[in-house]
Amino acid sequence: MSEDVQVSVADGIMTVTINRPAARNAVNRAVAVGIAEAMKELDANDAIHAAIITGAGGTFCSGMDLKAFVSGELPIVPGRGFAGIAEAPPAKPLIAAVEGFALAGGFEIAITCDLIVAANTAQFGIPEVKRGLAAGAGGLVRLPRQIPRRVAMELAITGEFISAQRAYELGLINRVVPAGTTLEAATALARTIAANGPIAVKASKQVVQQSQDWSLTETFARQQPFLDTVFKSSDAIEGAKAFAEKRAPVWKGK
């Protein structure tokens, strides 16, 4: 894996760090490939229960590396899209830990994640239009599903930024924490997730994501196959036993 992406795993939690601080962690081809490889490992490794993506040097990600783009390099992985993640996020929970700027493709990486923890000094935006480009890595399609449509429209066509507090008020991010503590806060959140039944967590994520496109009349029927997987698992029995016996459950992921 490229030095542009650093990956570590501890206590069932993967941390993926975009490591190009001199370029404000702009995404080039190497970063895209590195993130894609990390996401593949996340979903394939049963010992990993959740992941965090962050940026080195006090900035989350400034978006696509425009210098690389001008030279003809595209930070896209076939089948996974921009940054190796925009079109195919992992099945397991992913948390963005945002310090500084999450702009353009960086913002799109963040909103691809399931949860966002942001520093109180963080800023978000999709300023692609200011460079004659468009937020095609999810900004134009994911953002209107996560915040009010008119606010998403304003961000898309003005290219202006919003603060972490404004993003929190809009329901776009989960936690606002002091600058410099986002990774610590995201890790605490990941540990809470990792303590839960992995089959139940995965199924819950799938239903929450996919049900956005379900009609009300089909909702319960469409979610049933996911629930069958959960309730027929040995983990479901283990969870009930552990509760009755007043002990921590020992999950097997089966």
Catalytic residue numbers, as ranges: 108, 128
Q: For residues 118-139, give the mean pLDDT.
A: 96
Domain count across the chain = 2
Structural domain includes residue 27: yes
Structural domain includes residue 77: yes
Q: Are residues 207 and 153 in the same domain?
A: no
Indicate yes or no: pTM above 0.85: yes
Structural domain includes residue 177: yes
Q: Are residues 158 and 122 in the same domain?
A: yes
Separation of alpha carbons 234 and 136, rounded Å: 42
pLDDT for residue 1: 56
pLDDT, one tens digit per residue, over 162-184 is 999 999 999 999 999 999 999 99
Range of the domain at 233: 198-244
Structural domain includes residue 160: yes
User: Is residue 108 a contact partner of residue 62, using CB atoms and an 8 Å limit?
Assistant: no
Identify which of 150, 114, 116, 155 has the alpha carbon closest to the alpha carbon of residue 134: 155
Q: Are residues 54 and 163 in the same domain?
A: yes
pLDDT, one tens digit per residue, over 37-66 is 999 999 999 999 999 999 999 999 999 998
Q: Are residues 202 and 130 in the same domain?
A: no
